[in-house]
Amino acid sequence: MTRRLLLVNGPNLNLLGTREPGIYGTATLADVERLTADAAADGGFEVRAVQSNHEGVLIDAIHAAREDCEGIVINPGGLTHTSVVLRDALTGVGLPFAEVHISDVYAREQFRHHSYLHDVAAVRVIGEGVDGYANAVRQLIALIP
């Protein structure tokens, strides 16, 4: 049986590599997906990746993960601070998930300090750049029986 994680990247993360490189670095979304897949492979997992600027697409992908994934790694982007329905989708599927943020959201604008996911995430990795994705994968895999 294939062991799989779902990697979810939310709005504007398709712009990685060119969007505010002083904050987010120069790694692209393809780099993030490759880094995440490599970390997962080291733990015996493969990764299915989705990125969308549309909340409903992300929710549909999270719902579908119930069928063939054992955990979720998510960088919800700006939806972190606004989306109750994203939180409901993640708690509704019953899979452990890791919340990842490339930048240190607590060193940025006040509105970024609030996360609708912080108290339900099994793992939180904040401010480690794109390397945080690999860290999140390793921590999440350690929690999966």
42: in domain = yes
Quote the tokens at residue 2.
Answer: 């294939």
Residue ranges for the binding site for substrate? 75, 81, 88, 102-103, 112
133: in domain = yes
61: in domain = yes
What total of structural domains would you count in the chain?
1
Is residue 1 pLDDT above 80, yes or no?
Answer: no
Q: Does residue 101 have an active-site annotation?
A: yes
Which range is least confidently modeled, 17-31, 32-46, 51-65?
Answer: 17-31
For residues 46 and 37, is the Cβ–Cβ distance under 8 A? yes
Q: Does residue 116 have an active-site annotation?
A: no
For residues 136 and 42, is the Cβ–Cβ distance under 8 A? no
81: in domain = no
Distance between CA atoms of 140 and 74, rounded to whole angstroms? 11
Note the pLDDT tens digit of each residue in 64-91: 999 999 999 999 999 999 999 999 999 9
Task: Tell me the pLDDT band of 111, cut-offs 50, 70 and 90.
Answer: confident
Half-sphere exposure of 52 (CA within 13 A, CB side): 11
Is residue 95 pLDDT above 90, yes or no?
Answer: yes
Residue for token pair 């794109």: 130
Task: Tell me the pLDDT band of 17, cut-offs 50, 70 and 90.
Answer: very high
Domain that holds residue 47: 4-73+87-137
Is residue 110 pLDDT above 90, yes or no?
Answer: no
Residue 108: CB atoms within 10 A of its CB come to 13
List the beta bridge partners of residue 46. 4
Is residue 141 pLDDT above 90, yes or no?
Answer: yes
Per-residue pLDDT, 43? 97
Among residues 54, 101, 114, 118, the one annotated as catalytic is 101
80: in domain = no
122: in domain = yes
Collapse the DSSP code of 53 into the 3-class scheme (helix H, G, I; strand E, B; otherwise coil) and give the result: coil
Distance between CA atoms of 48 and 82, rounded to whole angstroms? 25
Give me the chain's average pLDDT, please. Answer: 96
- In percent, the amount of the chain with pLDDT more than 70 equals 100
